[in-house]
Structures are given as structure tokens and as C-alpha cells.
Amino acid sequence: MPGDLVVLKWGGGLITNKSNECSPDLDVIAALSDVVNSLLAESYEVILVHGAGSYGHIKAKKFRLSDGDIGLLGQKEAVAEVRNDMLELNKLVMKDLHGEVYPPHLWAKETGPEFEGDLPRSSPLTIVFGDVVNCEHGSWGILSGDDLVLRYAIEYGASRVVFAIRGVDGLLTAPPEQGGKLIEEIDGTADYRGSHSEGIDVTGGIALKVMTSEKIAASGIDVYFVNGENMDSVYNACSGKSVIGTKFLRRNA
């Protein structure tokens, strides 16, 4: 209902073409922005987390940035390049949005759900994204947007969390090319067998999203996975309406 806090994740594979470096899907970004603006106009508060897609994963994989400083030639330059690429993607995300952006490399340290740093927030719209952050001993690592979703949802008491993904209506029992069927509701550990782009994904892919969702649901918050190319689905999930997708049922509220 209006006034609710919604944490919305735009997947990197949704807003970019992950097979071509720094290739945005501007039509999808514009349409998703319209959904966010509609929610804001109806007095929802939104924390928007967006992924990196082809603006981060390809170069991060090539230079093994998730492994930290291993002395690989070009690593330090790649850290700066990926951070700049993410800022460029964020500019595209912000074209039709008006909110405060908080690049994690400016305020967060370490990686995983226990990363360090107070979560910045502004009302009614906060924007953060997966990023390369500093770690101990002068090294670095990749802070996943999914870990940001987890912390923001729990620490700020979100009403619901929505993952907008590309090409499918939600989580499937198997990849679509293997005839996977939509999982409409999940209560407890997911019976899920999916796939992601192992060749370029450096933050855990769909498996991390499932684990993140289980933790969020266990804290008493509903989590939805919906087709991010269907704007009605994104809007309905964010506003708590009936929607075709996967819903992780909240527990232990």
C-alpha cells in the first residue's frame, strides 16, 4: 500500500546485454524508470539496487577482481575502470529518475552480507549498485547488489522485495530450455535448479539471489521474482498486488 518501503532490484542481465561489454538496454531502463516514478507518485518509498551486467562482470571476470589483489597485471587499472563503468551505467539509470545515488566504493568496505558501512538512505528514492569496494590490506572485492538488497531490506524493514529479471516470469524448476516450470510460491528452502552465465558472472548469479531471498523471507518480508520486461508485473509486485511470478513467503514475522 502507499507509504510502504519497497526494495527493488534491477538485474544486470535485465538492463544490459551481458554478452557485449558496456551494452545497455535503454528501452528497458526507461520503462522500468516509469514504474519507479509511478510508485513514487503514489507515495511509496523505493530503494533501487541495480546490477552491473556487461558494465562490470566481463571486465571483473577477465581480471579476477573477485579474488582481490593477486598481482595480476592490469588489475589495479581494471578496478578503476569497472568503477567508472558502473558510474556510467548509473547515469543511464538516473536519466529519468530523481533520487540520491550512493556508489558503494565511497562508503562500503569488504564483501558479502557482512560488509562494513552504514547504509545511506534518502527519501523517497535511494539508488545503489553492485560495485568494486576496498578490502583489508589494500586489496579489493566485488560487493554484490544482492547483498545490498539483503541488508537494506532487513535493516530498514522493507514491506517487500522485488527482483526484476530478464526473460522468465520467475524462478523455474529447471532452465527454460529444459522445460522448467514456474515455481509460484516458496516456503522454506527452494527446490530450485537454475542456471546463470558462469563465464562472466562473478557474484553468484541466481543461486545467490535464492539464498538472499530465503534470508529475507525468514526475517518476515515477502520476496518476489518477476519478469522485468513486463512492467505490469514489476509494478504489481512492488505494490503488493497479485502477480505472475515467484513469491518467497515470509516466515517468523
Domain ranges of the chain: 5-248
**Distant-in-sequence, close-in-space partners of 126: CB < 8 Å, separation ≥ 6:** 46, 47, 48, 99, 100, 102, 120, 152
230 burial level (CB within 10 Å; 0-12, 13-18, 19+): middle
Query: Rounded distance, CA 187 to CA 222, Å?
Result: 10
Residue % of the chain over a pLDDT of 70: 92
pLDDT recorded at residue 1: 75
For the domain covering 5-248, report its CATH number. 3.40.1160.10
pLDDT band at 188 (very low <50, low <70, confident <90, very high): low
Q: What share of the chain is helix, strand, coil (3-state, %, to 5)?
A: 40, 20, 40
Q: What are phi and psi of 149, to 5 degrees?
A: -55, -45
Q: What is the pLDDT of residues 48-86, one digit of tens each?
A: 999 999 998 888 999 999 999 999 999 999 999 999 999
pLDDT recorded at residue 66: 92
pTM of the model: 0.91
pLDDT band at 4 (very low <50, low <70, confident <90, very high): very high
Q: What is the pLDDT of residues 204-238, one digit of tens each?
A: 578 889 999 999 999 999 999 999 999 999 999 99
Q: What is the pLDDT of residues 72-127, one digit of tens each?
A: 999 999 999 999 999 999 999 999 999 999 999 999 999 999 999 999 999 999 99
Residue with cell 514489476: 234
**Which residues lie across from 162 on neighbouring strands?**
8, 224
